[in-house]
Amino acid sequence: MELKGKFADAVNDQVTMELKAAMVYRQLSIEMDYRDLPGMASWFLIQSGEELGHAQRFTDHMTDREACPKIETIEAPGLTIKTPLDAFKAALDNEQQVSESIRNLYRMSQEVGDIDSIPLLNWFINEQLEEESTVSEIIGRINLIGDDGDGLLRLDAELGARKPEPGDG
CATH number at residue 71: 1.20.1260.10
**Residue 51 marked as a ligand binder:** yes
Instruction: Evaluate whether residue 146 is within a structural domain.
Output: yes
Instruction: Write out pLDDT tens, residues 105-155.
Output: 999 999 999 999 999 999 999 999 999 999 999 999 999 999 899 999 999
- Cβ-contact 58, 69 below 8 angstroms: yes
Instruction: Evaluate whether residue 166 is within a structural domain.
Output: no
The residue among 24, 90, 93, 82 whose CA lies nearest residue 55 is 24
**Residue 61 marked as a ligand binder:** no
**Residue 18 marked as a ligand binder:** yes
> What pLDDT is recorded for position 165?
80
Q: Who's near 127: CB < 8 A, 6+ residues apart? A: 54
Instruction: Evaluate whether residue 34 is within a structural domain.
Output: yes
The tally of domains found in the chain comes to 1
The residue among 63, 47, 44, 49 whose CA lies nearest residue 3 is 63
**Residue 165 marked as a ligand binder:** no
Instruction: Evaluate whether residue 9 is within a structural domain.
Output: yes
> What pLDDT is recorded for position 23?
97
Q: Print burial letters for 95-120: b (CB count within 10 Å at least 16), e (below 16).
A: beebbebbeebbebbeeeebeebeeb
Lowest mean pLDDT among 27-31, 78-82, 140-144: 78-82
Instruction: Evaluate whether residue 120 is within a structural domain.
Output: yes
pTM, two decimal places: 0.93
Instruction: Evaluate whether residue 150 is within a structural domain.
Output: yes
Domain that holds residue 71: 5-160
**Residue 95 marked as a ligand binder:** yes
Instruction: Evaluate whether residue 89 is within a structural domain.
Output: yes
Instruction: Evaluate whether residue 122 is within a structural domain.
Output: yes
As a whole number, mean pLDDT of residues 51-64 equals: 98
